[in-house]
Chains A and B, each alone.
Chain A
Amino acid sequence: MNIFSVLNIISIYIVPCLILLALLFAYFRGVKVFETFVEGAKEGFGMSVRLIPFLVGMMVAIGLFRDSGAMELITGAIAPILSWFGIPSEILPLAFMRPVSGSSALAITAEIMNSHGPDSLLGRMASTMQGSTDTTLFVLTVYFGAVGIKKTRYALTVGLLADLAGILAAIFICNMVFG
């Protein structure tokens, strides 16, 4: 049994096991489980609906930026400078998309692995990049949107700085380990 199948088993079992343990524990402590569940679940609707204006605003801007060719133009312009630092230009679209759109970033990652192979340096770099940061703009929109916060202060700056660090670290470490 290799590590992957162990990890695979863990990730399949973890959610059902958590629910099982939580319910058994609740019975043991005499909690009325169904009533309590409904009481909590009720809050889900309002929270999700309140998100809509924030999500619409953000996803329209992202969709426009990506599909109009504006993003391509910008990545194309700075690619020569970055390749000078050992950053391959094929990885740039992913580096730009990762903080902005989770599903597009995933699509780019899959595309890189398809065309270059998952065991190539590029494939491993893309995997590391994809796994090491989250979609900053989505997290920001959803979390602040749910409670109606409009003044987000320095949160986006911190999130983007963290993304930059994660992306550079992924490139650097992969160049060292797999390069």
Chain B
Amino acid sequence: MVNLLWGFMIIAAILVAAINGKIEIITPIIFGSAEKAVAIAISLISIMAFWLGIMKIIEKSGFIHIIIFFLKPVAYWLFPGIPRNHRAMNAMLMNMSANLLGMGNAATPFGIKAMEEMQKLNKNPDTATDDMCTFLAINTASLTLIPTTVLAIRAATGAQNPTDIIGTTIIATLCSTTVAVLSDRCFRFYNRLKNKRVFSNNRNVNNSR
């Protein structure tokens, strides 16, 4: 799916530019975007370093157990493949708390840390595990209680009551999170069925030998 989308975006862009007779814009866009990508990665270093430092303190002091108390039951159900006291679980719980509170730039470092810890449990390092996919699903749906950036824009553009969209936002984000979790579970279930079939086929081959 990623390969399909990535290729499609580039091919469509070049074709459209060529048809419109402005193919010369392609090269500057490529180098401009590439430069922006590196700039983002570099600016991420500062945020990552700071929050990972704080995270280490929170972990080592045991403060994490207070923060994650309420989210634990949900997280254990969502990620059955991660041991309960594992570092990955801690980072994921921190990521979920930060997302809920609208602390976007704190959520990313915790999320990346969680991926790294999950990678240590991964037997095929270039392929995503089930739990990684679930973690990604809930992050792309981003269950937020306070959409801070939107509130800021609404206030800046002179809304009568900037917060009147919080209710509709929470309902919409609940919808997208529900769809994310349910479709993720469907894929998990489907893959398990498929693997079981491959496994039993192998066994039949072995028996007939």
Which residues of A come within 8 Å of B, CB atoms?
2-4, 7-8, 10-11, 14-15, 19, 21-23, 25-26, 28-29, 31, 33, 36-45, 47-49, 51-52, 55-65, 67-70, 73-74, 99, 106, 109-110, 113-114, 117-119, 123-124, 127-136, 139-140, 142-144, 146-159, 161-166, 168-170, 173-174, 177-178
Contacts of B42 in A (CB 8 A): 48
Is there contact, CB below 8 Å, between B37 and A4? no
Is there contact, CB below 8 Å, between A36 and B60? yes
Is there contact, CB below 8 Å, between A143 and B61? no
Contacts of A132 in B (CB 8 A): 142, 144, 147, 169, 172-173, 175-176
Q: Once bound together, how far apart are the Cα atoms of A127 and B163, in whole Å?
A: 10
Q: Does B171 contact A (CB under 8 A)?
A: yes
* Range for the number of chain B residues in contact with chain A: 35 or more
Task: Give the dominant DSSP class at B's interface.
Answer: helix
Q: Once bound together, how far apart are the Cα atoms of A22 and B67, in whole Å?
A: 10
Q: A63-B29, A118-B154, A129-B172 are in contact. Are A48 and B14 (CB under 8 A)?
A: no
Q: Once bound together, how far apart are the Cα atoms of A22 and B181, in whole Å?
A: 31
Q: How far is the CB of B123 from chain A (nearest CB, A)?
A: 13
Contacts of A118 in B (CB 8 A): 153-154, 157-159, 162
Which of A33, A153, A158, A166 lies at the interface centre, i.e. has the most chain B CB atoms within 10 A of its CB? A158
Which of B6, B17, B119 lies at the interface centre, i.e. has the most chain A CB atoms within 10 A of its CB? B6
Contacts of A135 in B (CB 8 A): 140
Per the 8 Å Cβ criterion, residues 11-26 of B in contact with A are 12-17, 20, 25-26
Partner among B26, B48, B146, B153 whose Cβ is within 8 Å of the Cβ of A48 = B48
Q: Does B150 contact A (CB under 8 A)?
A: yes
Q: Once bound together, how far apart are the Cα atoms of A169 and B173, in whole Å?
A: 8
Is there contact, CB below 8 Å, between A143 and B125? no
Q: Does B74 contact A (CB under 8 A)?
A: no
Is there contact, CB below 8 Å, between B48 and A151? no
Is there contact, CB below 8 Å, between B180 and A158? yes
Q: Once bound together, how far apart are the Cα atoms of A15 and B98, in whole Å?
A: 10
Is there contact, CB below 8 Å, between B163 and A148? no
Contacts of A151 in B (CB 8 A): 124, 126-128
B66-109 CB mask vs A (1 if < 8 Å, else 0) is 10000000000000000000000000000000000111001011
Q: Does B201 contact A (CB under 8 A)?
A: no
Q: Once bound together, how far apart are the Cα atoms of A72 and B100, in whole Å?
A: 34
Is there contact, CB below 8 Å, between A149 and B49? no
User: Closest A-chain residue to B178, C-beta based?
Assistant: A165
Q: Once bound together, how far apart are the Cα atoms of A140 and B7, in whole Å?
A: 16
Q: How far is the CB of A73 from chain B (nearest CB, A)?
A: 6
Which of A58, A118, A123, A174 lies at the interface centre, i.e. has the most chain B CB atoms within 10 A of its CB? A118
Q: Once bound together, how far apart are the Cα atoms of A62 and B49, in whole Å?
A: 28
Q: Does B205 contact A (CB under 8 A)?
A: no
Q: How far is the CB of A88 from chain B (nearest CB, A)?
A: 16
